[in-house]
Amino acid sequence: MSNPSVSRKRLHFETLSVHAGVEPDPATGSVMTPIYQTSTYAQDDVGQHKGYEYSRTDNPTRTALQEAMAILEGGRYALAFSSGMAAIDTLLRLFEPGDHVVSGDDVYGGTFRLFEEVIAAYGIRFSYVDATDVNQISSAIRRNTKLIWLETPTNPMLRLTDLKATAEIARQAGILLAVDNTFASPALQQPLSLDVNIVIHSTTKYIGGHSDVVGGVIVLDDTEIYGRLKFLQNAIGAIPGPQDCFLTLRGIKTLAIRMEAHCRNASQIALFLTDHPSVDYVIFPGLDSHPQYDLAKRQMAGPGGIVSFRLQKGEAAARNVVQKTKLFTLAESLGGVESLIELPHPMTHASIAHSQFAIDPGLIRLSIGIENAQDLVDDLAQAMAKT
């Protein structure tokens, strides 16, 4: 069989989105990857099979998804999971009691909850630092630190970390750097190319892109760590079913053009909000008012599709606006083709509402979809009238 990760290396991202990991099915010629809805596989003799024994261990639809994600992130290996949290949990099983992790202090609420309320009970300790400042990352490294964990851009504050500089810090300390690349997607940022060791995604968001499937993935280059993670994936069993793998693969085909539309629409909406008299501030990496605008331009191929903002009248006005939008649906999650609006403090970030990392209750987060930008602006304008 041809090795797509080698033969396709020089193709452009739009082309890879459509073709990565997907070959006509050898049995039938089916152009689309079949949904191999099976738990087990016939063996010719004891232990003699075509590479598949049992679907927790391997399933051909999942193999196609894993190959696609490895190629899109420019990595050698990928492993798919039943959710982003399952991927992060499995990754953390690489570590042992007594180990220490340095994490950004603005990570996904569910990740913070997993670290503090699940993993910490197994004797792994976490320090949280403002990762916009790489000196704070290096100062937090101890003799028992094994991992740096980052998101960039973060959710919902859209803070960035210089990945190249952090990778150098990790290399010098002899520890791993893992990046949750959910917000940028490989269309905008490929951390492995900046010497990051491990990339994680919630494929529920931009990768799947249609708000119809939950999933996660780990991508990496290191053969030994891959072997350990592959063992853990099978041993723990937090794997996605073939139908979910199929849906995620279908979403991936339009990742490149969706991200272009998300970025274009989000840029227009960020400008509209910036000029709006009721708005206190707008956070968007594509605005030159963003404190890390230069890093965003250097590190990312586009500003992304998430815009956060605060109204001058704060929480009461915010609660009013999220009820009045008609095109923007009030909902958690992000990264789908449809636009969503939410209040992070009581919704997605409820798990940190009482911690030191609580979000301003008046902050509104928009996940900008691929609708017409003017229609989205008009919807926000009517919802914000009289705020």
Ligand X SMILES: *Cc1c(COP(=O)(O)O)cnc(C)c1O
Show which residues are catalytic: 56, 108, 180, 205
The reply on whether position 110 binds ligand X by CB under 6 A is yes
Residue closer to ligand X (CB basis): 182 or 233: 182
Please pick, from the candidates 90, 132, 155, 161, the single residue that binds ligand X as defined by CB under 6 A: 155
Q: Report the site for ligand X in 331-370 (rule: CB under 6 A).
A: none
92 vs 317, beta carbon nearer ligand X: 92
- Assess contact for 211 and 263: CB atoms under 8 A: no
Among 63, 202, 267, 308, binds ligand X (CB under 6 A): 202
- Of 166-174, 178-186, 226-234, 286-294, the segment contacting ligand X by CB under 6 A is 178-186
From the list 62, 159, 205, 345, which residue makes contact with ligand X (rule: CB under 6 A)? 205
Residue 180 binds ligand X, judged by CB under 6 A: yes
Least Å distance, CB 345 to ligand X, is 16
182 binds ligand X (CB under 6 A): yes
Residue 315 in tokens: 């929480």
Using CB atoms within 10 Å of the CB of residue 161, give its burial: 0 to 12 exposed, 13 to 18 middle, 19+ buried: buried
Contact 220, 232 (CB under 8 A): no
- Residue 325, C-beta contacts closer than 8 angstroms, at least 6 positions apart: 341, 379, 380, 383
Angle between helical axes of 60-73 and 242-252 (0-180°, round to 10)? 30
**CB of 207: closest distance to ligand X in angstroms?**
10
CA distance linking residue 345 with residue 360, whole number of Å: 7
Q: Report residue 363 as tokens.
A: 């902050």
Indicate the length of the chain as a whole number. Answer: 387
What is residue 298's three-state secondary structure?
helix
Q: Which CB sits closer to ligand X, 188 or 384?
A: 188
In angstroms, the CA 73 to CA 228 distance is 20
CB of 347: closest distance to ligand X in angstroms? 12
Task: Answer yes or no whether residue 111 interacts with ligand X by CB under 6 A.
Answer: yes
| Residue 84 engages ligand X in binding (rule: CB under 6 A) | yes
Euclidean distance between CA atoms 345 and 365, whole angstroms: 10
Cα angle, residue 152 at apex, residues 330 and 374 outer, rounded to 5°: 40
Q: SS3 for 52?
A: coil
Nearest residue to ligand X by CB is 84
Determine the Cα–Cα distance for residues 100 and 15; give it in Å rounded to an integer.
Answer: 40
Give the sign of the dihedral formed by CA 304, CA 71, CA 8, CA 4: negative
Of residues 103 and 111, the one with the C-beta less far from ligand X: 111
Should residue 151 be labelled a site residue for ligand X when binding is judged by CB under 6 A? yes
Under rule CB under 6 A, residue 162 binds ligand X: no
- 5 sits near ligand X (criterion: CB under 6 A): no
Residue with smaller CB distance to ligand X, 100 or 365: 365
The binder of ligand X chosen from 153, 216, 344, 369 (CB under 6 A): 216
- Contacts to ligand X by CB under 6 A: 83-85, 108, 110-111, 151, 155, 180, 182-183, 202, 204-205, 214, 216
